[in-house]
Chain A
């Protein structure tokens, strides 16, 4: 049985591996100056790059989710750090630890059930028909076998389990 401390060290190692590139950062601030989100939210991408790989605190940071992935920072970084790729990897670790916004969980549930993040609704069925299109598009909405395939793949990847993960906080080892 692993204790919480060991689990934490494991996560920190994961964060370190993901963030190796971030150690090239010279804290010039070109990234945050280019960030559209930073102008309107508390996201300070320069600061996130600074702490990337150094602390597990980053996992519960709201700022992780304020990035629109516009890539401005990454494009302009004079050290060519793949800032967004690092951020996405940290997000994934965060999610695997159970930090999921309820709205994002809802989007995931749509995918699990319908194979679409934004499934069709009554209003748009009608809109389609009025336009002269088929009521259902040529997607898994119309092809049940296709939807079954998507569901099998989601199960095979363990996606459903990931979403069921504990509501928040670093997961305690239950083994």
Chain B
């Protein structure tokens, strides 16, 4: 059994920031991650991180944009924290070495992003995530935090409403080990790969969310799934919103700048949900190009600007689509991008399970509500990562190490669980996974309605049944990828089920959740958060109020 005061599961931006803060506050802290931290999905973020550091900007204007963008579902007390702490977070990262892009006079440069009333997004070219994550990792190394690389956590251990640690699989040799801690922080990122088209890394399966769900923790607002309007046709690699921020135009096959039909004021810079639906409508109504895409054109921006601020995007287009955006428009289509929902947690990352914190994309601290604004999620990971790390470090000073019993028990259960999956025959994980991803894409996508959601739900339930019968044929010990995949597919099914049921029940359109059979937002009935608990193998839905402080809900127009 391995022991630390605090163990952070996940080495992305949120997990590393939590670990760093806990260490700075004197705790014995370790990070465990299925890939080395710098391979985490955070590395892929392109566009930037929001902070109201401009001379005419203010935290409350940032908060207003965030709440409006969220379609009033965000909790305004946590949004206030996010926006107030943003400038300090950006300056801190800068001071640690992040290579932000600069203005002529050497200050941190900012670019406009959708849904923001001000150019508020600080960026490092179009490699903001790469620069932030490497900087953060460097500082974690400097602080001497212990890191367990290439370990996959498979089950949380609990003892009378307290999280006592977890069981993890060492990918190097397929051995299971138990880890005991006074506090655990989950920072495992999003679940993009349950959709067929997703901008996310292949490792983003949402398994961390299902770990908490299976340990009895509620997961919140899962029906709110963000689709990014512009992903590269084919591979769905992200084409950052920064491209539109720099002045890119969207055209349909008749070379119309169709956004003037949908958001005449803000055009290409309307929030993501609106632009994604506009593109999808164009495609569905036959105005897209054959194969299902529209064009994002930046040829008018000129070679120099493209090479300076969008060089990563240019390279992506050349490598993955054979298109050079200096000369030709980029083919784009909407794809899954971000999870607004996640493990229910509060302003310090605390979940309803004692000793368990959740932060970053796997969590729902509810700063993004029904729709996240670009540049707010990198901010979310660092702001709340820092808070959770500090809170946990203070808390462990007065908590005793839990007893070993629950961990020994969990280890035994997990051994027999894995043993029962080994063998020939049965279902293959790849078939179940592929069908799940198609189902979610087809029936629980940008546009939703009762009929589709019911079909989607029936499919997911059928796949759950088949999921019970998946076997691992490969017997190798070192890097048994088939075993990892089988474990993760089961978590993907949990999440798909909750998203679909939540979406079916929520009879309104709000933010990214758009019902063609209930076109309006319905504050009377639905200005509330969804909580899903796992009860006897099924999600049980409950609801809770949204915290409203300074901004009263009003109609959202752009």
Q: Do A and B bind each other?
A: no
Q: Which residues in B have some Cβ–Cβ distance to A below 8 Å? A: none
Q: Residues of A with Cβ closer than 8 Å to B? A: none
